């Protein structure tokens, strides 16, 4: 139970941190690249980035990536759940086989009270 809680926290905390800090990080990175870039300064006043790149990324790229990652996560969860169900069925079968073996052995070599 404690390990499940740790896994949930480990999975959710980076998502929330990325969501809350995205704007500040992107502005800081843009400012850093503008100040320290070896590629030179934009001569169009950053019009290319604001007119073409940002609408493309926020309009097309982000939804496509989010759908792709959601599909990947759901497929992963589905596969893991199927494995868990299979393992549970195999464990139950093994326990049943052990119980039958115990009854057979005590029925043959033990007393009647041990068979049940």
d(CA 116, CA 98): 14
Task: Determine the pLDDT at residue 112.
Answer: 61
pLDDT in tens, the chain (116 residues): 788 888 888 888 988 888 888 888 888 888 887 777 656 666 666 777 677 777 777 777 888 889 999 999 999 999 999 999 999 999 999 999 999 998 888 777 766 665 55
- What's the token pair of residue 39? 């590629």
Question: Is-contact 103 115, C-beta < 8 A?
Answer: yes
Task: Determine the pLDDT at residue 87.
Answer: 97
Residues sharing a CB contact under 8 Å with residue 114, sequence separation 6 or more, in sequence order: 106, 107
Q: How far is CA 36 from CA 28, 30, 41, 113, in A?
A: 12, 10, 10, 85
């Amino acid at each position: 139970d404690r390990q499940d809680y740790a896994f949930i926290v480990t999975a959710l905390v980076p998502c929330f941190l990325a969501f809350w800090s995205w704007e500040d990080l992107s502005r800081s990175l843009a400012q850093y690249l503008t100040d320290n870039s070896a590629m030179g300064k934009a001569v169009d006043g950053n019009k290319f980035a604001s007119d073409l790149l940002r609408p493309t990324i926020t309009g097309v790229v982000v939804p496509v990536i989010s759908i792709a990652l959601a599909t990947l996560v759901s497929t992963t969860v589905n596969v893991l759940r199927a494995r868990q169900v299979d393992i549970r069925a195999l464990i139950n079968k093994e326990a049943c086989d052990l119980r039958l073996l115990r009854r057979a052995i005590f029925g043959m070599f033990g007393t009647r009270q041990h068979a049940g």
